[in-house]
Amino acid sequence: MSTYPVESIRNFSIIAHVDHGKSTLADRLLEITGTISKTDRNKQVLDKLQVERERGITVKAQSASLFYNHEGINYLLNLIDTPGHVDFSYEVSRSLSACQGVILVVDANEGIQAQTVANFYLAFEAQLSIIPVINKIDLKNADPERVEKQIEKLFDIPRDDCIRISAKQGTNVEKVLQKVIEKIPPPQCNSADPLKALVFDSTFDHYRGVIANIALFGGEIAKGQKIVSAHTKKRYEVNEVGILTPNEQPTHKLYAGQVGYLIAGMKEVTEAQIGDTLFLYKQPVEPLPGFKSAKPMVFAGMYPIDQTEYNNLKSALERLTLNDSSVTVHRDSSLALGAGWRLGFLGLLHMEVFNQRLEQEYNMSVILTAPTVPYKAVLSSAKLIKEYGKDEITIINPAQFPDKLSVSEYLEPTVLGTIVTPHEYIGKIITLCQDRRAVQKDMLYIDENRVMLKYLFPLNEIVVDFYDALKSLSSGYASFDYEDAGYQSADLIKMDILVNGNPVEELATVIHKDKAYAAGKLLCERLKETIPRQLFEIAIQAAIGKKIIARETLKAYRKNVVAKCYGGDITRRMKLLKRQAEGKRLMRKIGNVEVPRDAFIRVLKRETDK
């Protein structure tokens, strides 16, 4: 590795909206540089997870070192893959901080989408060189000219700078490599400096422990050296270093400007947190800026479908979080759903992907409750302030929601959402956003018929079904992305659901006052559909404090007896009745009302799972 001085190194990422061809381009780059052999099977080589290949997204970034000779000079090109969604924007920003440039891929047919915008700004703010690439020019409906205009208008990049390619067919891909060498500067660092390595990703290997992906901002690293984590202050001895091709390939050393991996006896991924800085023992350096611990934005309860599966699910969760330190896990329990956890995710996609990985990689089926967001309350009650030891608390579980009397202000998390849509859907989209309590921040025509809208959304308004609603009212054409925008004051209340006057703890919800009536009505209706009729009338109500805001009535059974029961009917009849009798065991009694456990599951489940 010592034959590659800093001047012949280029560190770059590919960024793109979902499905615009990031992974296909990566495949071609790997082939051209001989990193992998050229076969038809090279599809999403860097996307190793089943969920990534199925959804066409990148969840877990992979990196690869490419060797390329250009005008007689051997170059080391480090392709640092990034997760393809802004749920993972922190990961993206860390990956980008190991780069000096990006390839911005835009689909020649679809043009700029919401995520293109978000990714561009991440790269732009990091002051990286940007190589715009218009992909899929082989498609019949490709309109690269229109896309070039969009890029020029929105990103202020001259249209002549765009490279038109077809990653699928390999057209002009070589040109992209040349541009990488010409336009992206080499990293500014020196091997003579003390070691300064950025951890930009980490994975867990059952045999070797944590494998940390690192970018060297200074110095060199080799087996046997003693290193320290700036974040944890823990000391390790380096067992192995190497480059990714994209599989780990041990090398003698890594030098400043280079990118590779390190194994150093770390037992958990939390020991190699993304953004952390590693330095040599007794040679501390100033840590690289921008490190922060993952901050969950969306919470959901997760329970085993059957409590006997609790331990299996527990170990699956433990193993999966080994590879994904951004998921927070707190034990939780519910009268209706039993023992489980409250998990925090970076965003909705992250939550879905995590759930899908549990199913696919660990064969676990779980109950996932409707996602909620972390609210905050600024306390005014001296007693509560003393109890919590602070005057601002975060509310993850509605059961902890403090009464209005002891609170001076409630706060809710917000996000800045970007929507890119063909203009004919603007009216409907604006109405949808207003329904979601969103405030318009910007509206810009990116070409004659495409509009970019920016809205400030309360996070809880988009966590459940916003994306589906947007997709359906725009026939799938509008794209959406969002970024954290801090907290804002909100008129929040706690809504209880009562069954014959008794509160159902697991259905209590923190909600904005304006939304309570509609949500209360919906919850009552859904619950009515799922509670079986009984021998007496059942009132299902939504209440704010003592005030009833919605009611559904489940009438008593007046007739419930099978008409025919003769010799041939008994076996079938007994099977059904015994199942019902067996079901009594699983009934949750609320007062004298028997509610099947799956009634809550059906009510609590997200709409899309119905």
Partner 1 sequence: MAAVRRWPRKLAVLAAALPGAGSQGRAAAPGPAVLPAPGPTEEPAPEPVPGTAAPATAALYVHWPYCRKRCSYCNFNTYVVRALDEAAVRACLVREAQTLLRLSQVHRCVYGVRSEWALLRSSVPTCNSPPSASSVTSVFFGGGTPSLAGPGTVAAVLEAVAGAAHLAAAAEVTLEANPSSASISRLAGFRAAGVNRLSIGVQSLDDSELRMLGREHTAAEARQAVEAARGLFPGRTSMDLLFGLPGQSRDAWAQRLEAALGLCDDHISLYQLTLERGTALAAQVRGGALPEPPQDLLADMYETARNVLVATGFRHYEVSNFARKGALSTHNLSYWRADEYIGVGPGAHGRFVLRGEGGCSREARVQTLEPVTWMREVQSHGHGTRSRVVLNPLEQLEELLTLGLRTDEGITHECWGHFSPQFSLQDVFGEPGEARALQQSGWLVLDSGGLRCTWAGLAVLDSLLPDLLWQLQRALGAARCPPRDKEGQDARAVSGHDGQ
Question: Which residues of the chain form contacts with partner 1 (CB under 8 A)?
Answer: 534-535, 555, 557-568, 570-571, 573-574, 577-578, 580-585
Q: Which is nearer to partner 1, 61 or 554 (CB)?
A: 554
83 in a known ligand binding site: yes
84 is in an annotated binding site: yes
488 versus 580: smaller Cβ distance to partner 1: 580
Of 95, 59, 88, nearest in space to 346 by CA: 88
Report the nearest approach of partner 1 to the CB of residue 504 (Å).
22
Cβ atoms of 300 and 371 closer than 8 Å: yes
SS3 504: coil
- What does the angle CA 251 – CA 255 – CA 259 come to, to the nearest 5 degrees? 75
Q: How far is the CB of 578 from partner 1 (least distance, A)?
A: 6
Nearer to partner 1, 405 or 561 (CB): 561
Nearer to partner 1 by Cβ, of 399 and 581: the residue is: 581
* 330 annotated among ligand-binding-site residues: no
Alpha helices in 289-347 (DSSP H): 310-322
Answer yes or no: is 282 a known binding residue: no
User: Which one, of 14, 71, 67, lies nearest residue 45 by Cα?
Assistant: 14
Minimum distance between the CB of residue 571 and partner 1, rounded to whole angstroms? Answer: 6
C-beta closer to partner 1: residue 439 or 556: 556
**Residue (503 or 532) nearer to partner 1, CB:** 532
Q: Contact 300/276 with Cβ under 8 angstroms?
A: no
Residue 575 Cβ, how far from partner 1 at the closest point, in Å? Answer: 11
The DSSP result for 370-388, as a single string, is PPB--EEEEE--HHHHHHH
Computed over its alpha carbons, how large is the radius of gyration of the chain?
Answer: 28
Say if residue 17 carries a ligand binding annotation.
yes
Nearest-approach distance from CB 560 to partner 1, in angstroms:
5
- In the bound state with partner 1, the residue whose beta carbon lies nearer, of 518 and 576, is 576
| Greatest alpha-carbon span in the chain | 93
List Cα–Cα distances, 590 to 534, 541, 595, in angstroms: 13, 13, 7
Provide the minimum distance between the beta carbon of 568 and partner 1 in the complex, in angstroms, as a whole number. Answer: 4
What is the spatial distance between Cα 274 and Cα 293, in angstroms, rounded to a whole number?
A: 8
Q: How far is the CB of 497 from partner 1 (least distance, A)?
A: 24
* Annotated binding residue 465: no
Residue 235 or 578 having the CB closest to partner 1 = 578
Is residue 468 a known part of a binding site? Answer: no
Q: State in angstroms the smallest separation of the CB of 570 from partner 1.
A: 6
Q: Specify the pairing of strand 129-135 against strand 163-164.
A: parallel
Which own/partner contact pairs does 587-595 have at CB distance under 8 Å and 24+ positions apart? 588/335, 588/336, 590/499, 590/500, 590/502, 590/504, 591/499, 591/500, 591/501, 591/502, 592/500, 592/536, 593/499, 593/500, 593/502, 593/531, 593/534, 593/538, 594/532, 594/534, 595/336, 595/499, 595/504, 595/531
Minimum Å gap between C-beta 434 and partner 1 is 36
| Under 8 Å between Cβ of 106 and 133 | yes
In whole angstroms, what is the distance from residue 261 CA to residue 279 CA? Answer: 14
Residue 218 annotated as part of some ligand binding site: no
Sign, CA dihedral 42-44-47-52, equals negative
Residue 170, CA distances (Å) to 41, 64, 70, 80, 164 in order: 15, 19, 18, 20, 11
Q: Smaller CB distance to partner 1: residue 48 or 528?
A: 528
21 is in an annotated binding site: yes
Was 42 annotated as part of a binding site? no
C-beta of residue 212 within 8 angstroms of C-beta of residue 264: yes
Q: Is 532 annotated as a binding residue?
A: no
Q: Is 19 annotated as a binding residue?
A: yes
Return binding residues for GTP: 16-23, 81-85, 135-138
Return binding residues: 16-23, 81-85, 135-138
